[in-house]
Amino acid sequence: MSDYDYDLFVIGGGSGGVRAARFSAGYGARVAIAEERYWGGTCVNVGCIPKKLFVYASHFAEDFHDAAGFGWDVGKPVFDWPTLRDNKTREIERLNGIYDHMLTNAGCDMHWGRARIVDAHTVAVGEETFSARYILVAVGGWPYVPDIPGKEHVITSNDAFFLDKLPERMVIVGGGYIAVEFACIFHGLGVEVTQLYRGPHFLRGFDDDIREHLAVEMRRKGIDLRFNANLEAVMKEGERTLACLDTGAELETDLVMYATGRKPLTAGIGLEELGVEMAKDGTIKVDKHFHSNVPSILALGDITQGPELTPVALAEGMAIAKTLFADTPTTVDYDLVPSAVFTQPPIASVGLTEAQARDRHGDDLDVYVSGFRALKNTVSGSQERSLMKLIVEQATDRVLGVHMIGPDAGEIVQGLAVALRAGATKAMFDATIGIHPTAAEEFVTMRVPTRSGAREAAE
């Protein structure tokens, strides 16, 4: 019998924490988990799930427009924001209940409240304390808003899911995936959207061709993109809200939303006092098995330095459970992690961008790029264009990166991620017969490189 109350105490009920708790309990460990807000964390409550529901809702405007070209007369569509907002909330509450049932059925003890680490083997929740052989920190992050004049007048992505009413005009600040997704969502719902980004181009870290293509499409749809522009202050004058830019411009708007990143919720829970090593940004430094420099303290998910993606946190939670309680030391391979951005049109990628491939493999590359107007759009009248890209190492013929922007990008690239994981070559792509007529077949019919060798020489 262990001297501890629990074998594992998990702080944080998000996707990664719940996965680690459930499977550790399944391996026979005595597990407790503490949560102070809601089961499912960011993804279920104010992230992936409600955002994707909003993406679906926002795309109907284009679907109604496209239907006319196919002979459908749907009349003038009318959108009701409270219906979407409240139906979304009901679905999230249903998912919260599922998480609760999963933890209960796994045999985990659940504690509601803010947890704090007292020492290397003790956690306090409210007035109660519990001892544990291992403590897993899985508290996730929270939206960050810089300290500007009028900060109290802005919202974050967390708030966007619960607005009392839909604004007519909106300014979104930021250039990451959350900012571009919400710019497309609110524009699709009928809001006049201006997006500001302080840099020369948004979606830093994504392939340059994809970034440039998305900007063209967003502007074509009517979103006001302003690069090299930042917000200096927000002023309220009666019913008017003014967004004051560093360019000297002033935008009158109904709502300002900041989407400039999230910060780990690691401060104030006892990590500093215990001497747990953290980076300047508040993330916890962990080894390949997710242990911090204090061996009994582990961490996963957005508060470590890996990709901030729900499936990655799930994989980390599983790895921790197997390593600690199944006698199966397990790590997570962060190469070839696919990702998607649910803009309109959506983006999906797996593997290296062209810039990354050149940094790692030099200029001995073949790059295939195909841009086209989808078959559906030839009848619907939509001018939206898709773009697909393959990056191939010449010496090995191995496909290093797959990138797409266009309808169903996430669904298509998920399958291609398996191919890259298996080491697929361009010859294998070429030998694969396409499904016709689909957009996906474009990936197996690109025969002639758009450019080979150094990019500069080709342009």
Token pair of 42, please? 């960011």
Asked, for residue 450, whether it belongs to a domain, the answer is yes
Of the three residues 296, 325, 354, the one that is the final residue of a domain is 325
The structure's pTM equals 0.95
Instruction: For residues 22 and 132, state if they share a domain.
Output: yes
Q: What is the CATH number of the domain that holds 396?
A: 3.30.390.30
56 Cβ contact list (under 8 Å, min separation 6): none
Asked, for residue 331, whether it belongs to a domain, the answer is no
Look at the alpha carbons of 201, 202, 206, 208 in this order and tell me if their dihedral is positive or negative. Answer: negative
- Quote the CA–CA distance of 374 and 106 in Å, as a whole number: 47
Instruction: For residues 273 and 125, state if they share a domain.
Output: yes
Instruction: For residues 252 and 268, state if they share a domain.
Output: no
Instruction: For residues 368 and 313, state if they share a domain.
Output: no
Instruction: For residues 126 and 274, state if they share a domain.
Output: yes
Asked, for residue 171, whether it belongs to a domain, the answer is yes
Q: What is the CATH number of the domain that holds 195?
A: 3.50.50.60
Token pair of 180, please? 């571009």
Instruction: For residues 70 and 155, state if they share a domain.
Output: no
Instruction: For residues 57 and 116, state if they share a domain.
Output: yes
83 Cβ contact list (under 8 Å, min separation 6): none
Asked, for residue 358, whether it belongs to a domain, the answer is yes
pLDDT by residue for the chain (459 residues), tens only, comes to 468 999 999 999 999 999 999 999 999 999 999 999 999 999 999 999 999 999 999 999 999 999 999 999 989 999 999 999 999 999 999 999 999 999 999 999 999 999 999 999 999 999 999 999 999 999 999 999 999 999 999 999 999 999 999 999 999 999 999 999 999 999 999 999 999 999 999 999 999 999 999 999 999 999 999 999 999 999 998 878 999 999 999 999 999 999 999 999 999 999 999 999 999 999 999 999 999 999 999 999 999 989 999 999 999 999 999 999 999 999 999 999 999 999 999 999 999 999 999 999 999 999 999 999 999 999 999 999 999 999 999 999 999 999 999 999 999 999 999 999 999 999 999 999 999 999 999 999 999 999 998 875 434
Asked, for residue 53, whether it belongs to a domain, the answer is yes
Asked, for residue 212, whether it belongs to a domain, the answer is yes
Instruction: For residues 391 and 410, state if they share a domain.
Output: yes
Asked, for residue 332, whether it belongs to a domain, the answer is no
Name all contacts of 247-251 with Cβ < 8 Å and 24+ positions apart: 251/171, 251/194
- The candidate with the shortest Cα–Cα distance to 199, out of 173, 227, 226, is 227
Instruction: For residues 107 and 19, state if they share a domain.
Output: yes
**371 lies in which domain range?**
345-458
Is the CB of residue 42 less than 8 Å from the CB of residue 167?
Answer: no
What is the 3 state secondary structure string of the chain?
CCCCCEEEEEECCEHHHHHHHHHHHHCCCCEEEEECCCCEHHHHHHCHHHHHHHHHHHHHHHHHHHHHHCCCCCCCCCCCHHHHHHHHHHHHHHHHHHHHHHHHHHCCEEEECCEEEEECCEEEECCEEEEEEEEEECCCEEECCCCCCCHHHCEEHHHHCCCCCCCCEEEEECCCHHHHHHHHHHHHCCCEEEEEECCCCCCCCCCHHHHHHHHHHHHHHCCEEEECCCEEEEEEECCEEEEEECCCCEEEECEEEECCCEEECCCCCCHHHHCCCECCCCCECCCCCCECCCCCEEECHHHCCCCCCHHHHHHHHHHHHHHHHCCCCCCCCCCCCCEEECCCCCEEEEECCHHHHHHHHCCCEEEEEEEECCHHHHHHCCCCCEEEEEEEECCCCEEEEEEEECCCHHHHHHHHHHHHHCCCEHHHHHHCCCCCCCCHHHHHCCCCCCEECCHHHHC
Of the three residues 260, 281, 316, the one that is the final residue of a domain is 260
Phi and psi (nearest 5°) for 316?
Answer: -65, -40
Chain centroid offset of residue 351 CA: 16
- The candidate with the shortest Cα–Cα distance to 48, out of 203, 178, 171, is 178
Instruction: For residues 252 and 269, state if they share a domain.
Output: no
Number of domains in the chain: 3
C-alpha distances (whole Å) from 255 to each of 236, 237, 252, 393 are 11, 13, 9, 47
Instruction: For residues 256 and 277, state if they share a domain.
Output: no
Instruction: For residues 394 and 287, state if they share a domain.
Output: no
Q: Helix 177-188 vs helix 48-69: angle between axes, to the nearest 10 degrees?
A: 40
Of the three residues 229, 260, 291, the one that is the final residue of a domain is 260
Asked, for residue 193, whether it belongs to a domain, the answer is yes
Pairing mode, strands 128-137 and 122-125 = antiparallel
- What positions carry a catalytic annotation? 436
Say what the pLDDT of residue 338 is: 98
